[in-house]
Amino acid sequence: QLQVADSGGGSVQPGGSLTLSCVVSGDTFSNYAVAWFRQPPGKERLAIASGNPTGEQTWYQDAVKGRFTISRDDSENTAYLYMGSLNPEDTAVYSCNADSLFVGSVLGRGAWGQGTQVTVST
């Protein structure tokens, strides 16, 4: 059974950076696409980035394009989300979703991580 665990959140000042991790276990990680979502306080959860199983196809929400970068290390069964130039609007609970299909992960139809809090403030 596929299991997903995301981590790496914390508090950071505006302009700072954080890297989140998403560890996938229970199946062959190289077969899964990983998408990243965030849910700001009082707002809906939306997808912000995704990559196909090989990492050759990527997608970014306009709000994070040019600031966030996704990557993966199949030897560690881990996907990463680098977040740079953070601002208070990036404050949210971030979570990852792993699915066998790229579109499935973007739609949140795969296995979810538990979520990790990112707070950007002075």
Report angle CA 35, 106, 94 to the nearest 5 degrees. Answer: 45
Residues in CB range of 5: below 8 A, 6 or more apart: 22, 23, 25, 113, 114
Check: CB of residue 34 under 8 Å from CB of residue 20: no
Q: What is the pLDDT along the chain (122 residues), one digit of tens a residue?
A: 899 999 999 999 999 999 999 999 999 999 999 999 999 999 999 999 999 998 889 999 999 999 999 999 999 999 999 999 999 999 999 999 999 999 999 999 999 999 999 999 99
Check: CB of residue 106 under 8 Å from CB of residue 121: no
Helices (H) and strands (E) in the chain, counts: 1, 11
